A and B are shown apart, each in its own frame.
Chain A
Amino acid sequence: EDQVTQSPEALRLQEGESSSLNCSYTVSGLRGLFWYRQDPGKGPEFLFTLYSAGEEKEKERLKATLTKKESFLHITAPKPEDSATYLCALGGETSGSRLTFGEGTQLTVNP
């Protein structure tokens, strides 16, 4: 059974204080690992897809990386508008259309 564990559950940063969010996973044949951002009262917004260990993707202050056991979402010099819940999801070869979602990390960036 595919599993996803995100940590920490909640993270408070000062503006400009860089940090990383973790997504640990177990999967039988990775099809894709996905990062999403969710603001209160809205649906998750797609950020990145990673397909194989060693792959990296960047967008503005965010950088996602992937190893065979975990993925990190690095946030460089965050701003208050980066405050949101960040979700990690996993597609596996034995799961078909069922993505496995983590519980998310709630990020708060204080000015």
Chain B
Amino acid sequence: ETGVTQTPRHLVMGMTNKKSLKCEQHLGHNAMYWYKQSAKKPLELMFVYNFKEQTENNSVPSRFSPECPNSSHLFLHLHTLQPEDSALYLCASSQDSQGDSPLHFGNGTRLTVT
């Protein structure tokens, strides 16, 4: 399998649930990212990992908890979410995290919080 794979593609969860989003990249990249995409808004960076180390946390609420066990896998653990957290969550990877390498995105998880 090639590229960036995200699971699940769709997720509906209640405000008291706990769930996790999974991302895997097969590109040999060193950096991985979580982005949030809401309607009519630009992509919003959430977290950056470079060589498994978190290098960016864009003031994301603690109800979102990332985990990067190795350079190929990235998780986003969700708990006690709010309805306004409903969005498309995109995982991406790049060769490095210096801003000069293109990001390669997965197809996202469409999250609905009820």
Interface on A for B, CB 8 Å cutoff? 4, 31-32, 34, 36, 41-46, 49, 51, 87, 89, 91-93, 95-104
B45 engages A49 (CB within 8 Å)? no
B56 engages A96 (CB within 8 Å)? yes
Binds A, one of B12-20, B61-69, B77-85, B92-100: B92-100
Chain B residue at minimal CB-CB distance from A90: B99
A96 engages B43 (CB within 8 Å)? no
- B: contact size bracket: 20 to 34
Chain A residue at minimal CB-CB distance from B50: A97
Query: CB within 8 A of B106: which of A43, A87, A92?
Result: A43
User: How many Å from the CB of A49 to the closest CB on chain B?
Assistant: 5
In Å, the complex CA distance between A100 and B41 comes to: 12
**A42-B108, A43-B108 known; A97+B102 contact, CB < 8 A:** no
In Å, the complex CA distance between A96 and B31 comes to: 12
Residue among B41, B42, B107 with the highest chain A CB neighbour number at 10 A: B42
Does B48 belong to the interface (CB within 8 Å)?
Answer: yes
**A96-B56, A97-B31, A98-B45 known; A32+B108 contact, CB < 8 A:** no
A99 engages B99 (CB within 8 Å)? yes
Query: CB within 8 A of A97: which of B4, B56, B105?
Result: B56
**A45-B105, A91-B100 known; A97+B48 contact, CB < 8 A:** yes
Residue among A43, A99, A102 with the highest chain B CB neighbour number at 10 A: A43
